[in-house]
Amino acid sequence: MEPSRVVEPKLTDPKVGVQLIVYGKRAAEELPVVLQEVKETGYAGVETGNLYNRYSPAEVKNMLETTGLAITGCHSGFGEFADPEKVESSIRFLKEVGSRYLMVSGVGHHDEGLSAYDSAAEVFNRVGRRCREDGITFCYHNHAWEFDRIDGVVPIHYLCERTDPDLVKLCIDVYWVYIGGEEPADFIHRYADRAAYFHFKDGRKGVFSELGRGEVDFDRLMPEVRSVAPEWIVYEQDRSDLDPKEALQISRDFLRERLSL
């Protein structure tokens, strides 16, 4: 009798979204138009801030239903997370739009050295615990400066050591890992248990570009990304010399044609 064959489960392809930062002020001033452009360029969702700060729940629901887009997640700066009321508002927003990722950038006054990371870790563990109660995944979004050593210590790794991996996941920005001096594929592998959400960004130091036009080695990092089976991969470009819709289309084509996403 032949031994039974183990069938590896097929990993579902991630959905592809876009961070609206590339639109600048237009993301706030012309959101319905921006969402329509996002839909036309082939993305399934958008990452935003808490839209309830500007629009009513009914208005948000109507914009999403009109375009068929999903909210990939909600992203705010550190100051939003020291205020429990703002955390509760973001959780409510995510639950009502059917999303489950809440991202934070920064640790407050990081110029204060490692003590800033100690203080932030306490906040993040607390917020992560609260998010988990409602099925929300709380993620820290890295930049490059968390890789600048302080007293011989790499702050991003220091922060990860001081936060509970069950409560505080990572929104890994592959460009900023690269600019910070580490190989994105290795970083993803190291934190596979925390790699819940991804920002795909490209460029070279000091210059952002559309995906595939910079120095980030997406071919090398993709196997690591697929191994953790994220729900979303989100294209983010802080700014572009092109019209945002053109930038979106170039990056969407790269994701589809080069990375099969």
Q: What is the pLDDT of residue 11?
A: 52
Residues sharing a CB contact under 8 Å with residue 83, sequence separation 6 or more, in sequence order: none
Class of residue 198 by CB neighbours under 10 A (exposed 0-12, middle 13-18, buried 19+)? buried
Q: Chain-wide mean pLDDT for the chain?
A: 94
Angle between helix axes 244-257 and 31-40 (nearest 10 degrees) is 30
Residue 191 has pLDDT above 50, yes or no: yes
Residue 54 has pLDDT above 50, yes or no: yes
Residue 6 has pLDDT above 80, yes or no: no
Q: What is the pLDDT of residue 109?
A: 82
Domain borders along the chain are 15-257
The DSSP bridge pattern shows strands 207-209 and 202-204 to be: antiparallel
Q: Which CATH number describes the domain made up of 15-257? A: 3.20.20.150
CA–CA gap between residue 114 and residue 109 (Å, rounded): 10
Give the type of residue at 147.
F
Residue 27 has pLDDT above 70, yes or no: yes
3-state secondary structure of 17: strand
